[in-house]
Amino acid sequence: MWTTLLVEDELQAREYVRAIFGKIASPFRITGEAANGADALAFIREHNPDLVISDIVMPVMDGVELLQAVRAEGYDTRFVMLTCMSDFEFARNALEYGASSYILKLSMDTETLEQTLDKVAQELRLRGRLRKIERDLQGIAKHAAKPTDHPELNNVIDRILMHYDEPLSLASLAEWVSMDPSYLSDLFRKKTGVTLTNFLQNVRIESAKVMLKESAATIGEIAEKVGFANDNYFNKIFRKWTGVSPGDYRRGGSSVRKDDEDDNQKSF
């Protein structure tokens, strides 16, 4: 079951939403209530519910302000906004800040609420899959890392594992550990047996393989998420490392890494 916070300053409206909740089969249950955004924010900080169903117009802190505050503090709680026709502009603002949906109070019924909750449930299932991907990627990173006897090189390896999805270059990595780029490149290969390029590419491709199997993201989106500037280059490097295209790999094609002695001789 997913936990739900109901935020509504009118007691009668809260009772109506609870009554509809009781009539539908849903993986959500109401675990808390609040009469304004300030009280709701305090509840979210303590309990971190999966879903917040919130009125927009409320005293102290309105629903949009609550959503903004929750996002600013880093919570990925799903939001469904309750609104009147006169509040529609506020509802549109809420969607821009990441609300999943909104429901017009006057037209709320079991069917409308059930459809909305189904949509939120899909988002939460996707969130769960993405969190699993993140855990898998952390495991890949730990497996890929072979600490050396050189502290600065270990710092470089840690930085690649933590930030492989960002633009990385020999120059930026060398600056990170206050080393000459050429010296860092030679030392990395000497201590690890591979070039910086191959190490970085391996981490990125292993991460991409997990996402291709576990997520519904497009190949272009995955390329960006693992640090490639464009999907054409991603396709080229993925094929070099696995022997198949990203699309074939997602469809179940075999993955056989191709050793490329020429590339192993290249510097970063």
Q: What is the mean pLDDT of the chain?
A: 84
Domain boundaries, the chain: 2-128, 145-264
pLDDT band at 263 (very low <50, low <70, confident <90, very high): very low
Q: What is the pLDDT of residue 6?
A: 96
Phi and psi torsions of 204, nearest 5°: -65, -45
> Does CATH place domain 2-128 in 3.40.50.2300?
yes
- Please provide the DSSP assignment of 195-261 as one string: -HHHHHHHHHHHHHHHHHHH----HHHHHHHTT-S-HHHHHHHHHHHHSS-HHHHHTT----PPP-H
pTM, whole model, 2 decimals?
A: 0.57
Average pLDDT over residues 33-39: 94
Q: Tens digit of pLDDT for each residue in 141-152?
A: 565 556 788 888
> With pLDDT > 70 as the criterion, what percentage of the chain qualifies?
84
Distance CA 9, CA 11 (A): 6
Q: What is the pLDDT of residue 254?
A: 53
Share of the chain above pLDDT 90, in %: 37
Choose the weakest-confidence range: 93-102, 154-163, 245-254.
93-102
Query: From CA 203, how far away is CA 225, in angstroms rounded?
Result: 12
Question: pLDDT tens digits for 82-113?
Answer: 887 656 666 666 676 678 787 888 788 889 88
pLDDT band at 40 (very low <50, low <70, confident <90, very high): very high
Domain 145-264 superfamily per CATH: Homeodomain-like (1.10.10.60)
- Confidence band, pLDDT 50/70/90 cuts, at residue 158: confident
pLDDT per position as a tens digit, 167-224: 898 899 999 999 999 999 999 999 888 899 888 998 899 889 988 887 778 899 899 9
Q: Which two tokens stand for residue 140?
A: 């890949």
Range with the poorest average pLDDT among 10-14, 111-115, 134-138 = 134-138
Q: In whole angstroms, what is the distance from residue 193 CA to residue 169 CA?
A: 19
